[in-house]
Every structure is written in structure tokens, then in C-alpha cells.
Amino acid sequence: MWRPKPVIRDAKCSLLHENRVTEFKMHTTVSIDELPHHCEMIDKGKVVRTRQPLSKTICAFLNTAGGKIYVGIDDKGFFRGTLMNGMLLDHLLLSLDATMKRFNPRPADGAITVEIFPVVPATGRFSDDELRNMEILPYPEQTVHILHGSCKPCRDALHLGASTVIVLIHVKKLDDCIYSNEEGLTYERTHGGNRLLTVDKLRQRLQARLGDEGFGAIDQALAYKGDQLKIVA
């Protein structure tokens, strides 16, 4: 049976660094709807998030050069892993699919793919139980996932057991579309992280596609909500 190559728990990931095409995360929250309430607060009248959903980085990668999100590697580059079993993996894949349907436009099939890598003890030695835990455990059939807020069936499923893994989300840039995420916001990737596309940057990119006669279409496609730019068409 094929097994993905494992990584060593708490080892330093010396060959990877966060940059224009690489992002490290320690959570599997895909969309804004799944953010826990304690991760949002109001500061001087504005919403401040202590956790950013994966969709923000996916959107930025789609609008730049593609990239990879490593869930289970911390900001300092250490392999920590995240708990995963069959039910949690199913939830992650369903949430990714549901969130991509809310992108405008929807990314093409094959633009987003997922790989799983087991995280193993530093000794590199495994008991029979540990070897079995390297595989994603099954889950009860006919499970209903909750994709808005906390998913109680997934929380309850942790008692079935879970493996510590690295989740690798591949984001491929397959076209020249300008994507907005489930909030209607448009991001691009920089070496320092994700940033909202400015009006001028959006105009430049849209004009390159539409030509000089496209300014009317550009104005119709852009709108503001508060101080945030959104694509509405």
C-alpha cells in the first residue's frame, strides 16, 4: 500500500519559507463563515480578526502566481501538525468546494487540490498503533456537515481517533481571471502576505484585458462597501 512520505514532528522546515507562493497555517478554517466568534473583535469601529480564513490566501494565490498552503506548519517553520480523521477531511474538502462556488468567478476544476502527509515522532520509530494512525481513519456514513459556524458532528468525531498530519493545499493559477472571494473582496499575493487589490491595480489589470474602451465596464464592475473595494459583476 502506498504511503505518503512522513514528516518529523517539531522538526524545523528548513527548505520552506513563507513567501509569494508559500503560506503556513495552523488551522483548517476555510471560509469567513467558519471563523469562531472569539477570532473576531471590534476595534475603533472596525472588525479585527485574529485568524484569517484559508479562502483569503487561496484568492490571493489565484490572482497572482498560484501557491501552496501548508496547514500544520507554524509561523516559525516548525512541523506541528493538525488533527485529522476521515470525517474532518471530508468536512475540509466539502468546505473548500462550497467556498469555491462562492468565489467570483468559480475556480476551474483542478485549480485546488489537497495532499495529506503524516507527522511522526522525532524518534522515527512507530508502534503498530502509531503506524495505523498514520492513515486517515474512516467515519460514520450519512454524516451531515455544518459549513457555517462550528460543526458539532466533526467535534464529536474526534473521539473516534485522529492522526496528526500536514495538509497541503495546492492552488494553481490556470487563467488570467481576477477572482474575488466569498466576501466579494479581491486579494493579491506579495512576499509579505496577502493584500487587497487597489482600484488602480484592478483598473490596470482589467484594462489590459478590455482595452481602452473597457473603462465603462470597469466602473460597472467596481463598487465600494464602506472602505473596501468589491467586484460586483
CA gap 219, 13 in Å, rounded: 45
pLDDT at 2: 41
Q: How many residues does the chain have?
A: 233
Most confident stretch, 101-105, 122-126, 195-199, 204-208: 101-105
Q: In the chain, what percentage of residues exceed pLDDT 70?
A: 78
CA gap 114, 17 in Å, rounded: 19
CA gap 113, 104 in Å, rounded: 19
CA end-to-end span of the chain: 48
pLDDT at 46: 78
Q: Helix (H, G, I), strand (E, B), or coil: what is residue 84? A: strand
Most confident stretch, 100-104, 126-130, 175-179: 100-104
User: What are the residues facing 118 on neighbouring strands?
Assistant: 165
pLDDT at 132: 52
